[in-house]
Amino acid sequence: MLKSKKLTSLEILRGISVLAVCSNHFANAISGGTVLPGLFKGIEKYTVNSIDIFFVISGLVIPYSLYLSRYTVKSYFTFVYKRFMRMHPPYLIALAMTLVLAGISYKIRHQPNPETFITIIKSMFYAHIPTSNPVFWTLRVEAQYYLFIGLFFVLLTRYKNISLLLGFPVLLALSLSPLAESIQMLQYIIFFLIGITGYLIYVSEEKPFIELIVLTALIIFVYIHKGPGSAIASVITIASIVFYKRPAHNLLDFTGKISYSWYLIHFPIGIKMINLLLRRFSTDYYWLLFLLAMGTTYALAWLFWRYIETPFAKLSKKVRYVRAE
């Protein structure tokens, strides 16, 4: 029997994560102020693991959505197309915004634009990350994960224990191998595997004994290879998704809804704004510049979400999987 579709903590976690990402980048840009410099350095220090949360969430949510859709391998290309329709058009528009803003900035400063026709084409397919929006690297990782999970989910469903006890160790070994330099997803596969294990625990109809052992081993692996901050972030994320059932506060819930849009546009707009206004603000008021960047990019993210992300999300939902006979 399929469990309830509603995972009430997801938007909370997404909201917290995107707040942390934006705070980290903006705090880094203004941490040289004379008022509250320790606060901004602290924000920068304690928000570095926010991306880990996003990867754990994807690790759980994507296989859970496949589970609810009764996905089979026949629908692999449909799945890839659905994810493409959901994520890629907003990315392309954010990429265009980034390149236009960067081009104007380089021209005003009389500096050569590092982007070329070739790099722009590569950027459209995640093969190049523009210097003016370095956060796009995570989208390359996510895209590689979608290609992977569409196939691995079938193995996970049919041979769960083999996947956990053999497939997971192989993937972790690959994450420490030179192959991880070519396939960036492997560098972060541990977070996706933690999410996948959380998904198995959530849908389990029996006591998830093996899953809990595997999850414990994965957390230990994270602690050793990624550090205590990543381990804590992973544990809190999985525990929140699996056990937290209360609805989110409206503001945080909405922030989670627009998190992808905010993530896409916050860097080129917010950092450009800070760099432009930095000389006009006394260092005593850098904190006000921080709030201005947060508020402005949040408002623009709402517009981006409403008029760009949401229409493509609706188109993605209209694409149906092939049903198993």
Task: At 140, list the tokens.
Answer: 């390359």
Would residue 199 count as lying in a domain? yes
CA angle 8–10–15, rounded 5-degree value: 120
Q: What is the pLDDT of residue 285?
A: 78
Can you tell me the distance from the alpha carbon of 57 to that of 7, in angstroms, rounded to the nearest whole number? 11
Q: Measuring CA to CA, which residue among 144, 139, 25 is closest to residue 90? A: 139
Q: Measuring CA to CA, which residue among 308, 314, 233 is closest to residue 264? A: 308
Would residue 2 count as lying in a domain? no
Q: What is the pLDDT of residue 81?
A: 95
Q: Is pLDDT at 1 greater than 50 in this prediction? A: no
Using alpha carbons only, how large is the chain's radius of gyration in Å? 21
Q: Is pLDDT at 34 greater than 90 in this prediction? A: no
User: Does 251 or 297 have the greater pLDDT score?
Assistant: 297
Would residue 188 count as lying in a domain? yes
Would residue 3 count as lying in a domain? no
Count CB-CB contacts under 10 A for residue 119. 17
Structural domain boundaries, residue 54:
10-318
CA distances from 36 to 28, 175, 273, 274, 306 (A): 13, 39, 20, 17, 35
Task: At 54, list the tokens.
Answer: 């996003």
Would residue 51 count as lying in a domain? yes
Would residue 295 count as lying in a domain? yes
User: Does 5 or 96 have the greater pLDDT score?
Assistant: 96
- How many domains are contained in the chain? 1
Q: Are 237 and 15 in contact (CB under 8 A)?
A: no
Average pLDDT over residues 200-206: 90
Residue-wise pLDDT for 50-99, tens only, equals 889 999 999 999 999 999 999 999 999 999 999 999 999 999 999 999 99
- What's the whole-number average pLDDT of the chain? 88
Would residue 37 count as lying in a domain? yes
